[in-house]
Amino acid sequence: MKLLLDIGLAPAASAIHNWLSANLKNEMLVTITDMVITGLCLLGFLVVFCLFLGYMERKVAAFMQVRRGPNRVGPMGTLQMVADTIKLLFKEGLTPDGSDKFLFNLAPFIVVITSMLVMAPIAFAKNLQIWDTSIGILYVSSISSITVIGILMAGWSSYNKYSLLGAMRSGAQIVSYELSIGLSLISIVILTGSLKMSDIVMSQQNGWWIFKGHIPIIISFVIFIIASTAEINRAPFDLAEAEQELTAGFHTEYSGMKFAMFMLGEYINMIVVSAIAATIFLGGWMPFHIGHWEAFNHIMDFVPSSLWFLGKTLFIIFVIMWFRWTFPRLRVDQLLNLEWKYLLPISMVNTILVTVMAIFGWHF
Amino acid sequence: MSLLGEDQLTEDGEFVINIGPQHPSTHGVLHLKTWLNGETIVKIQPHLGYIHRSIEKMCESLSYRQYIFSTSRMDYLSAHMNNQACVLAVEKGLGIEATPRAQAIRLILAEVTRLTSHLLWWGCTGLDLGAVTPFFHAFREREALVEVIEESCGARLTQNYCVPGGVMTDLHPTFQTKLKKAVAQVKGKLDEYDELLTGNVIFEQRTKGVGFLSYDDAISYGCTGPMARASGVSCDIRKWFPYDGYDKVQFDEVIMTGGDCYTRYMVRMKEMKQSISIIEQMVDNIPEGDFLTKTKNVIKLPKGDFYQRVETARGELGVLLVSDGGSTPYRVKFRSPNFSNLSAMEHMVPGQKIGDLVAIMATIDLVIPDIDR
């Protein structure tokens, strides 16, 4: 397991690259083939992970709601999501009369593609990173804000009043909460002095930021979780698709695979924010170490780095699901109040605190 | 192609949206025509009649034994109380009274029904405000109570247990033990409900100060039940016009003065505790004896008007029987609580947001078939 995940993947990638270079004479063709293979791997990973998350969400919900959840299709209901996907594939994708057909059909792709793009600079394990760009954090926060265009597009082109209201809510919500996310990301950037994902992970070799960074980083972490839950339109901030108010909000008119793509986008977004939170606050693929407990640290080192990363990501995903199944939904004005009157001022003050802390080197 | 084209806006630039008749939060086929200014509701107009089944007219061709059963389909969550009102009206006309045992059975089942209704309401309120989990928790406890009802009268929702002169059959032998167990379960879980929903910050924000209804407005709109009691109006029929032995049990009429959604919520939560206390008092004190007073096979009421009111889970239900001396009523009129409670919505909603509309609808506790009949 450890071999396969930690050492296996990077040599496998270079082996494929070497084989391609040997067989394809054209340098550009090699690069393109490399990219396509990487993209397909990422796509496959994300889709499978999303199916798993769909199953996990149902089981988590069932656990909290004194019921069993899916338990008929496959062992323990594990194939339920596969069955659902097949159903959605065969459903007719209606395009309503009076809608702007081009934008209506384009919107789900924008939502999915932008959320997939954000995965590029994330370090999944030791030496396993698709694109270690020097502007990692900046790239993530700028690309993830494009999602709102897809949602606005969907709401506007649907020719449905509920969709329009949902899209407008979503626009206001995502644009506002972006600020808090940015500020809480910046607090880590201040401490590490780098936007590069690999640098941020490496800086946590002697301890995760959430432990090293005192209270300001814990505040940042909490704000990041709250704001990113809002950013990805999950309950209690799911105003854009508030079922009881707007039937299904911006995706009211979507059906079949186009609807499934919105769901896919939602789950990928959830993976993205959890992965980023795990990377910058919880040490990415870094194992958990306690001071000078050599034996303990060695045992922790033995767990593959990819499992550390997946575990941390899944933990944050579980917390986000936990929110969803226990909290009521906020009202639209309360949602904006929360951001502009509480989270944003707090993150601003917090940024100053972090800066002071970084200057005087008060962190560990 | 724009949605906000000239034809979509009113003269004042308001955005008209039709909530219902098919909508997740109207709990049935209610159609609310809503004028919006952004997210703020300017005006609201309920349109009724989508589930009108002319129950009142149907009752005119049914005998006094038969007409009771169609009323289970009015406020289906308070089916037993609807039956009770009808039966009491017939008994008033005949000048008889049910046996003490029958009265006690009716009273207990009325409180059990109130409890099931309030539990369902609690779950749906959570659901309407976006919290899905309360719904399942409420149903777990409701199921235990419904099973007790089912065992004695055979039906779970539309009970039809009451007949003129008493109840249809005697209680199941295990009724008392099962009911005690079920009630203890509900009692234990009520605190858990408070932790899950009542104390939640978001829930308080969503309901406090929302949908205010003043004391005077509650009276002038004819609101009854928990909704009026949340505005400080004392209107519990069980206290004011006791029937079926409500004068013999100890309970408090829950009156609060907030008038907003949160107060309406709290009134119902406290009413559940009162219902539990009533059941606990009565369950071991069901008198022995007949469960049915003998009546003639064909009931004929003397000429005249007979009016009986009961307190259902939603408020005051009045039954007016007009008899011309024959074996079927000449005219039946129901005064249903939901109709009056709904009428106050036009007054409460303007100025609130769409999310508040849902909260207000949830705390009015609408059952649409009761509005249309």
**Residue with tokens 């209804």, as numbered in its chain:** B213
Provide mean pLDDT across the span B234-244: 87
Interface test with B, best of A245, A253, A341 (most B CBs within 10 A): A245
From the CA of A212, how many Å to the nearest CA of chain B? 31
> For position B9, what pLDDT does the model report?
64
- Both tokens of B296, joined, read 């003639």
* Contact between B136 and A238 using a beta-carbon 8 Å cutoff: no
Reported residue count of chain B is: 373
Residue B7 confidence class, pLDDT cut points 50, 70, 90: low
In the DSSP assignment, the letter for residue B331 is: E
CB pairs under 8 A between A and B: 93
> For chain A, how many structural domains are there in total?
1
Domain residue limits at A233: 2-360
Residue A4 has pLDDT above 60, yes or no: no
Three-state SS at B351: coil
**Residue in A with minimal Cα distance to B34:** A161
The half-sphere exposure of A123 on its side-chain side, counting CA atoms within 13 A, is 25
> For position A8, what pLDDT does the model report?
55
How far is residue B368's CA from residue B33's CA, in Å, rounded to a whole number? 16
How far is residue A25's CA from residue A172's CA, in Å, rounded to a whole number? 51
Complex-level ipTM: 0.79
Provide mean pLDDT across the span A324-337: 85
Instruction: Express each pLDDT in A51-103 by its tens digit.
Output: 888 898 888 888 888 888 888 888 888 888 888 888 888 888 788 887 888 88
Q: Percent of chain B beyond pLDDT 90?
A: 3
Name all domains of chain B by residue range, CATH numbers in brackets: 52-372 (1.10.645.10)
* Contact between A326 and B128 using a beta-carbon 8 Å cutoff: no
Listed in sequence order, the DSSP H helices in chain A are 2, 9-23, 27-64, 80-90, 101-117, 136-144, 147-157, 161-192, 197-202, 209-212, 214-231, 243-246, 256-280, 294-302, 305-326, 332-337, 344-360
Residues of B (133-192) whose Cβ lies below 8 Å from A:
133, 135-137, 140
> For position B5, what pLDDT does the model report?
47
- Of B265, B349, B310, nearest to B36 by C-alpha is B349
Instruction: Express each pLDDT in A131-176 by its tens digit.
Output: 778 888 888 888 888 888 888 888 888 888 888 888 888 888 888 8
Interface test with B, best of A331, A332, A338, A342 (most B CBs within 10 A): A331
| DSSP code per residue over B118-142 | HHHHHHHHHHHTT--HHHHHHHHHH
Q: Compute CA A328 distance to the chain's CA centroid, rounded to the nearest angstrom.
A: 22
> For position A5, what pLDDT does the model report?
47
From the CA of A326, how many Å to the nearest CA of chain B? 6
Provide mean pLDDT across the span A116-128: 81
Contact call for residues B173 and B94 (beta carbons, < 8 A):
no
* Contact between A246 and B354 using a beta-carbon 8 Å cutoff: yes
B21 touches chain A (CB under 8 A): no
**Residue with tokens 């490399």, as numbered in its chain:** A34
- Both tokens of B349, joined, read 């909603």
* Contact between B358 and A244 using a beta-carbon 8 Å cutoff: yes
Contact call for residues A100 and B1 (beta carbons, < 8 A):
yes
Q: Cβ–Cβ contacts within 10 Å for residue B64, how many? A: 26
* Contact between B205 and A330 using a beta-carbon 8 Å cutoff: yes
How far is residue B363's CA from residue B1's CA, in Å, rounded to a whole number? 39
Residue A364 has pLDDT above 70, yes or no: no
Instruction: Express each pLDDT in A309-324 by its tens digit.
Output: 888 899 999 988 888 8
Residue A298 confidence class, pLDDT cut points 50, 70, 90: confident
Contact call for residues A164 and A98 (beta carbons, < 8 A):
no
**B258: CB partners within 8 A, 6+ apart:** B230, B266
The half-sphere exposure of A27 on its side-chain side, counting CA atoms within 13 A, is 0
Query: pTM of this prediction?
Result: 0.84
* Contact between B17 and A331 using a beta-carbon 8 Å cutoff: no
Residue B312 has pLDDT above 70, yes or no: yes
> For position B22, what pLDDT does the model report?
79
Residue B1 confidence class, pLDDT cut points 50, 70, 90: very low
CA dihedral sign, ordered B367, B369, B372, B373: negative
Residue A303 has pLDDT above 80, yes or no: no
Contact call for residues A118 and A144 (beta carbons, < 8 A):
yes
Residue B102 has pLDDT above 70, yes or no: yes
Residue A128 has pLDDT above 80, yes or no: no
| Strand pairing report for B162-163 and B40-47 | unpaired
- Of A160, A150, A168, nearest to A99 by C-alpha is A160
Provide mean pLDDT across the span A238-265: 80
Task: Give the sheet arrangement for strand B315-323, strand by strand.
Answer: B304-312, B315-323, B331-335
Provide mean pLDDT across the span A258-283: 88
Most confident of A164-178, B25-39, B105-119: B105-119
Q: Which residues of A touch B197 (CB under 8 A)?
A: 328
> For position B11, what pLDDT does the model report?
67
Backbone angles phi, psi at B334, to 5 degrees: -105, 135
Residue A127 has pLDDT above 80, yes or no: no
Q: Which residues of B touch A165 (CB under 8 A)?
A: 17, 39, 354
**B241: CB partners within 8 A, 6+ apart:** B309
Residue A2 confidence class, pLDDT cut points 50, 70, 90: very low
Contact call for residues B42 and B14 (beta carbons, < 8 A):
yes
Residue A1 has pLDDT above 50, yes or no: no
Residue B59 has pLDDT above 60, yes or no: yes
> For position B2, what pLDDT does the model report?
43
- Of B227, B309, B292, nearest to B96 by C-alpha is B292
Three-state SS at A195: coil
**Residue in B with minimal Cα distance to A329:** B130
Backbone angles phi, psi at A128, to 5 degrees: -120, 95
* Contact between B355 and A331 using a beta-carbon 8 Å cutoff: yes
Residue B53 confidence class, pLDDT cut points 50, 70, 90: confident
* Contact between B132 and A236 using a beta-carbon 8 Å cutoff: no
Provide mean pLDDT across the span B43-61: 87
Q: Compute CA B152 distance to the chain's CA centroid, rounded to the nearest angstrom.
A: 22
Average pLDDT of chain A, as a whole number: 83
> For position A283, what pLDDT does the model report?
81
